Amino acid sequence: MIRIIALIILLIPGFLAGYGIKLMRDMTFGVLQPPIPSLMVQFIIGLVLFIGGLGFVAGFILHRDRKRNKVQARFKK
């Protein structure tokens, strides 16, 4: 059960990062999503979602690998 919860915790930021990529792609093609007022704001929101989701997943993987001693010496605390 704990593994399923961990998977769900990882999927949510993954979906947010994917939605961020979609927002940035839509801005590139000039497609404005309804609740967002301008294309530049849409791109910034997409960029924040993408970086936040990617950072969360990367931090989770780094934390897990540190616990298992599978990182290089420069990444150890």
Mean pLDDT of 20-48: 95
Phi-psi region of 54 (alpha: psi -120 to 50; beta: other; left: phi over 0): alpha
- The Cα 9–Cα 6 span in angstroms is 5
> What is residue 75's predicted lDDT score, i.e. its pLDDT?
86
Instruction: Using pLDDT thresholds of 50, 70 and 90, give the confidence band for residue 77.
Output: confident
Judge whether residue 23 has pLDDT over 80: yes
> What is residue 62's predicted lDDT score, i.e. its pLDDT?
93
Per-residue model confidence as pLDDT tens digits over 4-13: 998 998 999 9
* Domain with 29 in it: 2-75
DSSP the chain: -HHHHHHHHHHHHHHHHHHHHHHHHHHHTTPPPTT-S-HHHHHHHHHHHHHHHHHHHHHHHHHHHHHTT-S-GGG--
The total of structural domains in the chain comes to: 1
Mean pLDDT of 58-75: 91
